Structure 1
Amino acid sequence: MKRGPITEFMLTHYKHFNSASLVDAAKGWETHLAKGGKMFVTLAGAMSTAELGKSLAEMIRQDKIHGICCTGANLEEDIYNLVAHNHYHRIPDWRALTAEEEVKLMEKGLNRVTDTCIPEEEAMRKIEGLLNKEWQNADKAGQSHPPHYYFWQLLKNPEFKKEYQIDPKDSWMIAAMEKNIPIYTPGWEDSTNGNMYAAAVIEGRIKNVHTVNSGIQTMIRLAEWYTEVSANHSIGFFQIGGGIAGDFPICVVPMLEQDLERSTPLWGYFCQISDSTTSYGSYSGAVPNEKITWGKLDGSTPKFIIESDATIVAPLVFAYVLNW
């Protein structure tokens, strides 16, 4: 098979250390899919603000990814970037900012994520009212849906499409909606829109707290999906960063096997991109073999860890799998 220029570059130059791990993990992904496997991806950090959608969306469209678990921040920040990109501010010398300069950014309504500031009015407040209407409509109807469902309702609105400030092909949320792949968002309340929803419940504008799915409802959904898909396909686990986005879904296997006592296939591939130093007691810095004792991975499961910046590594792995 003829390789694309980015892939050829990696095959020529990425021969050792973390670069070699990157190529090995990408090759492992290809092998896993070639054997009929499915891939589950987890997104921690601020990958949507890092515009990972430019490659992640194409991975979804080409059926290289079949399920996603992400933080509430990654869910909403893909939408913020979609409708407010022209108002974002980048600060190249962000390490040199003083506390006083940070205060000035706050006063201007600029919420900083490393070198990128998300504009409060043009992003958060632009969709707050629209989401509140979706939540309230579902609440009155006695419905309960995952967090992404309500964003998808906005994306289906022709009027909302007029707000787009980037090419919609670079939005992974749009790609996920069009492919209807499952998304799981544990700990969603730890996000801007999660905070807004909690406020709506406290004020009584939302009567049923479960109008947006709880964490237990999310785990039940994941268990149903994993059981159904793993009956016919090995499922791989590609983890970007640490935290709840990775910790939550990987536990579905021991829960099914040990707590429900159902014979359940283990994850069939595992890779984590992490900049957390391998250490004692740091889950994000735990090596993959540690997961064997917890009933998540098998001794023979292909396992990779790439210790580097995910904003650099993830697009390269995706590029390799896409043969760019």
Structure 2
Amino acid sequence: MENLALSSAHAAAFKESESLEGKCAKIEGYDFNEGVNYPQLLKSMITTGFQASNLGDAIEVVNQMLDWRLADESVTEDCSEQERDQAYRESVRCKVFLGFTSNLISSGVRDTIRYLVQHRMVDVVVTTAGGVEEDLIKCLAPTYKGDFSLPGALLRSKGLNRIGNLLVPNENYCKFEDWIIPIFDQMLKEQVEEVFLCIINGCNYFLFSFLFPLFALFIHFPTSCKSLMFPLTDLSWKYENEIPVFCPGLTDGSLGDMLYFHSFRSSSLIIDIVQDIRAMNGEAVHASPRKTGMIILGGGLPKHHICNANMMRNGADYAVFINTAQEFDGSDSGARPDEAVSWGKIRGSAKTVKVHCDATIAFPLLVAETFATKEKIPLETNTL
């Protein structure tokens, strides 16, 4: 009986394995005996395991996104004459949607994002109010490195605001107010003039909208300020390269505070969000025959806004999410790509990956092995 029990226990402990040879990659890390080779180090992540492998997978998905051309697809019967032209097919790239939360603009990731829009490597940008205002504020005054453990009451007494381990002096927002209120005045003046023109032309309605209201900033600020901002800010390069920027929560931040304060001077300034959502969804709906890809840093409004727009075209073809949120509270921020597949926001056949990691770590590494290794995209492309 004892031998039988031992045999049974042995069989249970050493159950025969199915062979994985040739089916799965072998786990191997980077060998520093070979010296320090950063591209090889990053390449090795795909076989390192855990989130390193997810980052390696994300690098592969983004490279597939950037390498795709319409020429890779078969010519179908419903293709237009232009779509049958081989040179044209070689020129048509994937339409890349980039989304990010405001804390990343507060951090040094702002410079990575600026690089992408400076060289027109992405096509559509979605961010929060903070993602807009922090970019502009950094042109007026810097953000500083602090510590996560600095006590809030002490910082409040010193007029310092904490974003994680970053510090933003309250004075920065005072400078922002001094700069932006005159611009709101000018925007209001133009709206009033537009209304007057509609009235004298016999119009019985008025619709005044901005694709993104802050584009007006780059028309109206003084030349001295323009020379300061154009080399430095994400928004200036997005404007210069005609990359549309969408902010579904424009009032949820310092911009909202400024609009609130401005409303006491005049309550007539109008921002039309209906035209904004038409334009945003149109970026996805009219992307065809291009494929679409999503790179989303963090969660919240930017993540859902991009996913929801792509639902209008039956889903994106590529998706990379980088965030630290978990899915078990039902939040969209923490949802993995497969949940978006159920809504039709990502195609069932799409290449997708979620990297559970702080984007300040993962995103610069991803860019180093994707966008930064590609030939810079000429500004005349991606105009479809």
Q: TM-score normalised by the shorter chain: which range applies? A: 0.7 to 0.9
Report the counterpart of residue 283 of structure 1 in structure 2. 332
Which of the residues 191, 203, 207 maps onto 2:268?
207
| Secondary structure class of the residue paired with 2:162 | strand
Is residue 2:159 matched to residue 1:109?
A: yes
Matched residue, 2:130: 73
- Output aligned runs, 1:41-56, within 5 Å: 41-56=98-113
Letter of the 1:157 partner, please give it.
Answer: P
**Contact 1:136–1:206 under 8 Å retained in 2:** no
How big is each residue's C-alpha offset from its partner over 1:8-50, in whole Å with a ceiling of 9 and x where there is no partner?
Answer: 3201345222112112212211211211212101112400111
Q: Which residue of 1 aligns with 2:196?
A: none
Aligned residue in 2 for 1:60: 117
Give the match for residue 11 of structure 1: 43
Paired position in structure 1 for 2:240: 178
Is the counterpart of residue 39 in structure 1 residue 72 in structure 2?
Answer: no
Deviations 1:222-268 (A, max 9, x none): 0222233x1231111111111111112311233x3xxxxxxx35211
> Paired residue for 1:274?
323
* Structure-to-structure mapping, 1:114-129, within 5 angstroms: 114-121=164-171, 123-129=172-178
Letter in 2 for 1:41: L
Specify the code of the residue in structure 1 equivalent to 2:365.
L
For the aligned residue pairs, the C-alpha RMSD in angstroms reads 2.3
**Cα deviation 1:277-308 (Å, max 9, x = unaligned):** 23141221212111112111121101100001
What amino acid is the match of 1:7?
P
Rounded to whole Å, the distance in 2 between the matches of 1:302 and 1:253 is 15
Question: d(CA) in 2 for partners of 1:269 and 1:13?
Answer: 20
Q: Equivalents in 1 of 2:252, 2:183: separation in Å?
A: 20
In structure 1, runs of 5+ residues without a counterpart are 257-263
**Matched residue SS, 2:321:** strand
Query: 8 Å contact 2:307–2:346 — kept in the other structure?
Result: no
Are 2:63 and 1:30 equivalent residues in the alignment?
Answer: yes
C-alpha separation in 1, matches of 2:38 and 2:115:
15
| Displaced runs of 4 or more, over 6 A | none
Please tell me the residue identity of whatever aligns with 2:349: S
Partner of 2:253: 191
Paired residue total: 296
Q: Return the TM-score normalized by structure 1.
A: 0.83
Structure number with greater CO (CA < 8 Å, separation at least 6) is 1
Of the candidates 288, 309, 318, which is equivalent to residue 367 of structure 2?
A: 318
Q: Is the Cα contact below 8 Å between 1:135 and 1:150 reproduced in 2?
A: no
Q: Where in structure 2 are there 5+ consecutive unaligned residues? A: 1-35, 69-92, 192-207, 375-384
Question: What SS is found at the alignment partner of 2:373?
Answer: coil
Could you tell me whether the CA contact under 8 Å between 1:280 and 1:286 is conserved in 2?
no
